[in-house]
Every structure is written in C-alpha cells, then in structure tokens.
Structure 1
Amino acid sequence: MATTKWIIDPAHSEIQFKVKHLMITTVTGYFKSFNLEVETEDEDFTKASRIEFTADIDSINTNNDQRDTHLKSDDFFNAEQFKQLRFIGKSFEGSGDNYKLHGDLTIRDITKPVTLDVEYGGIVVDPYGQTKAGFTVDGKVNRKEFNLTWDAVTEAGQVVVSNEIKLHCEIQLVKQA
C-alpha cells in the first residue's frame, strides 16, 4: 500500500471554539492560522500513520480585540511563551460517515488525551483536478485541565466564563501528488 500525504486547505477549513459567557450566551472564536498534515494508506483514513494539527495562538480571533488580547495573555494561552496548540492523532476508528479520532491535545505545556467526533464527508475531485477529503470535527475540553484557569464571578455569583469549551472544525484536506 502506498503512503498518501494530505494537507489542509485553509481557504475551505475553519477551526472554531465556543464558550459560555455569564452562562447565558455563547461566544465564538476561531484561529486564523493553522496547519494539518495527515498521512494515510492510500485513501483510507482509518489507517492514518500521522495526524498532526497545530494552531498559532497569536491568530486567535473572537471579533473583540480586548478579549483576544486577554486570551493571548498568561491568564489563558500565554501566546508569548506557548506559540501553538498541538493535536497529535493516535487513531481514527469507525465506519460509514461517523468516526472517533483519539489523540493528544497540548495547550500551554499540558498534554491530555481527547476524543473527537468526526463526520466524514467523503472524497471528491474539485474542478481543478485536486482530490479533496472533507470532515466535520466536534468535541469538548475542560479549559482548566490545560491551565487556562482565569476565573471571575459577578456580584450575583454568576460564573463569567464556563470551564467547558466546545470545539467545531470544518476540515478540507488536499491530496498531495
């Protein structure tokens, strides 16, 4: 079997996160700069020998400059010291359209195992002759497990930022020649 290399198509991919604010609304953020490389056996992603994702912390964007600056500070990601978050996939299992992606997520200097739900969209050849594979990836992590521990409570006792972070990614990979 031949090893096939895939890279992310950043123009057709999104890396988002969602967090409850004051426990009454959800704030959405995303990373503008990220990379994903996958190596498979032919076009079989369940036999991936390498799945490596990185996102540049300095590219975080929540459509609010003040909040973005706070997220990049030592209260949260500490972008000055920890330039990237990293996910290394260990296994991709399932069948049909629904899969589980198991791997290690590193934020700051802490690595924890996570499992992500993956919906496989299929493989197509685009109008330019490029073979592309599509995935929707969803998951949840507890921010405090990664030393993102800043907390505040309102006068009424409401938590300002929830501990649970929801992840949502739309991924399009391009097969390399």
Structure 2
Amino acid sequence: MATTRWVTDPMHSEVQFKVKHLMITTVTGYFGQFNVEVETEDEDFTKATKVLFKADVDSISTNNEQRDTHLKSADFFDAASHGQVKYEGKNFEKVGENEYKLHGDLTIRGTTKPVTVNVEFGGIVVDPYGQTKAGFTVTGKINRKDYGLMWDAVTEAGSVVVSDEIKLNCEIQLVKQ
C-alpha cells in the first residue's frame, strides 16, 4: 500500500468554536490560521497513520478585538507562551455510514488531554482543476478548564459570564498531494 499525504485547502476549510455567554447567548469564534496534515494508506482514512491539526492562537477571532485580545492573554490561551493549539489523532474508528470517531490528544496551554471528536466523511472528489479533495465535518466538545483556561466572572445576579463547555465545529477540505 502506498502512503498518501493530504493537506488543508484553506480556502474551503474553517475551524469554529462556540461558547455560552451569560448562559443566554452563544459567541462564535474562529481560528484564521490552521493546518491539517493527514497520511493514509492509499485513500482509506480508516488507515490513517498521521492526523495532525495545528492552529495559531494569534489568529483567533470572535469579531470583537477587545475580546480577542483577552482570549490571547494569560487569562485564557496565553498566546505569548503557548502559540499553538494542537490535536494529534491516534485512531480513526468507523461507527456508521460515513460516520467516524477520531480519538486523539488535544494540547492547549501546554496541557494535553485525550479527546474524541465526531467526524462525518463527505467523500472524495476531483475538482475542476484536477485536484483530488476529501471533505470532513468535525464536531466535539471540551471543557476549557481542563486546559487551564480558568478565567471566570459572575454577574451581580449570580450568572456565569462564560461557560466551561466549548463546542467545536470544523469544516475541513483536504487536498491530496
């Protein structure tokens, strides 16, 4: 079997997270700079020998400059000391028709914990330029405090300002190399 290398198509991929604010609305954020590298046997992703995701913390955006600066500070991601978020996939498990679980290790702020994400495989196609592409929707949840993102505040009425649970939603398109 030949090893096939896949890399992110940044024009057709996005990495998004959502967090409850004041427990009444949801704030959405993105990482603008990230990369996914996958190595497979031929085009079979269940036999992936490498799944590596990295995002640059400085590229975080919630469409609010003040909040983004706070997220990059030592209260949250501490971008000055920990410039990247990293996920290293260990096992790609088929659980249904085009549905998978990706088991791996997520590192934020120098803390690494096992995380399993849900992966929906969209398929493989050849685009109009002759490039072979594979598409995935990746979803999951983490607890921010597991990674040292401990900042907390409570309103005068006792409401939590930022929830501990972070929802992940990624649309990833890979290009075969």
Q: 1: distance between equivalents of 2:10 and 2:142?
A: 23
Runs (4+) off by over 3 Å: none
| Corresponding residue for residue 142 of structure 1 | 143
Alignment length, in residue pairs?
Answer: 176
SS in 1 for 2:69: helix
CA distance in 1, matches of 2:98, 2:70: 38
1:77 corresponds in structure 2 to 77
> In structure 2, what residue type is equivalent to 1:45?
F
Which is worse superposed, 34-43 or 89-98?
A: 89-98
**Which aligned pairs between 1:1-150 and structure 2 lie closer than 5 A?**
1-94=1-94, 95-150=96-151
1:160 positional shift: 0.1
| Paired residue type of 2:108 | I
Residue type matched to 1:21 in 2? H
What runs of 5+ residues in structure 2 fail to find an aligned partner?
Answer: none
Deviations 1:52-105 (A, max 9, x none): 000000000000000000000000000000010100000101042100000000
Separation in structure 2 between the aligned mates of residue 168 and residue 21 of structure 1, nearest angstrom: 18
With structure 1 as the length reference, what TM-score do the two structures score?
0.99
User: How many percent of aligned residue pairs carry the same amino acid?
Assistant: 74
Q: State the 1:46 CA deviation.
A: 0.4
Moved more, 62-71 or 90-99: 90-99
What TM-score comes out, normalization by structure 2 length?
0.99
